[in-house]
C-alpha cells in the first residue's frame, strides 16, 4: 500500500536518537535538526563543554538530552551512550554514527599508530557501537542506523590517505 512503502517519509517526532561526534560540524547540526523535529537525544563526543552548550540548545527546543563525553574507542563510553538511551529516553530508534578523526600529512612520513587510531575511531568504534546497539534498536520504533561518510571514501586526495581509506 502507499502508506507502507519505503518512500514514506520517516517520522522523527517522538524518536530517540544517539548522535556521535555531536560537539561540532555535521554531528552538531544533525543533533539540532533531530531535536527541532521532535527527537530526544543522547549526544556524544570528546569535548564535554561543547556537548553542554549543545545540550542547552536542545533543551531550549523542549527536548530531552543526555551527554556522554568520551572517546568512542572506549567500550565503556559506547555502553554509556546505549545505557543513556535505554534508561533516560526509554529506548533507541535512531543511531547516527558521525564521530571521526583525520590526520593531515604524507603517508610515508606517518607513524603506523596514526593509521591505527584513525581506523579505531572512524571504523571499529562505529562498527562496535552498531553491534552493541542492535538489540536496543530492534525494540525501537522503525529503527535506523545512519553512517556518515565522506566523498573522500570514493575519491582520495593527497595528505589524507588514511582518512580516505577508513571512510572507504
Confidence at 162, pLDDT banded by 50, 70, 90? confident
Rounded distance, CA 106 to CA 10, Å?
A: 42
Question: Cα Rg for the chain, rounded, in angstroms?
Answer: 17
Rounded distance, CA 51 to CA 21, Å?
A: 10
Element (H, E) at 154: none
Say how many Å lie between the first and final Cα of the chain, rounded: 36
At 87-146, the pLDDT tens digits run 999 999 999 999 988 878 887 888 888 889 988 998 999 999 999 999 999 999 999 999
At 76-92, the pLDDT tens digits run 999 999 999 999 999 99
Catalytic residues: 163
Q: Which DSSP state fits 150?
A: -
At 25-63, the pLDDT tens digits run 999 999 999 999 999 999 999 999 999 999 999 999 999
Amino acid at each position: 500500500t502507499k502508506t507502507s512503502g519505503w518512500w514514506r517519509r520517516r517520522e522523527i517526532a517522538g524518536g530517540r536518537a544517539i548522535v556521535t561526534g555531536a560537539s561540532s560540524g555535521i554531528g552538531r547540526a544533525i543533533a539540532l535538526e533531530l531535536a527541532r523535529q521532535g527527537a530526544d537525544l543522547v549526544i556524544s563526543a570528546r569535548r564535554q563543554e561543547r556537548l553542554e552548550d549543545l545540550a542547552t540548545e536542545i533543551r531550549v527546543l523542549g527536548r530531552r538530552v543526555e551527554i556522554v563525553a568520551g572517546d568512542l574507542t572506549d567500550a565503556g563510553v559506547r555502553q554509556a551512550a546505549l545505557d543513556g538511551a535505554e534508561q533516560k529516553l526509554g529506548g533507541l530508534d535512531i543511531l547516527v554514527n558521525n564521530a571521526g578523526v583525520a590526520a593531515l600529512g604524507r603517508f610515508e612520513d606517518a607513524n603506523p599508530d596514526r593509521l591505527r587510531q584513525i581506523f579505531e575511531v572512524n571504523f571499529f568504534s562505529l562498527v562496535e557501537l552498531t553491534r552493541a546497539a542492535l538489540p536496543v534498536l530492534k525494540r525501537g520504533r522503525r529503527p535506523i542506523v545512519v553512517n556518515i561518510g565522506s566523498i573522500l571514501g570514493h575519491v582520495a586526495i593527497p595528505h589524507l590517505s588514511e582518512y580516505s581509506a577508513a571512510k572507504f
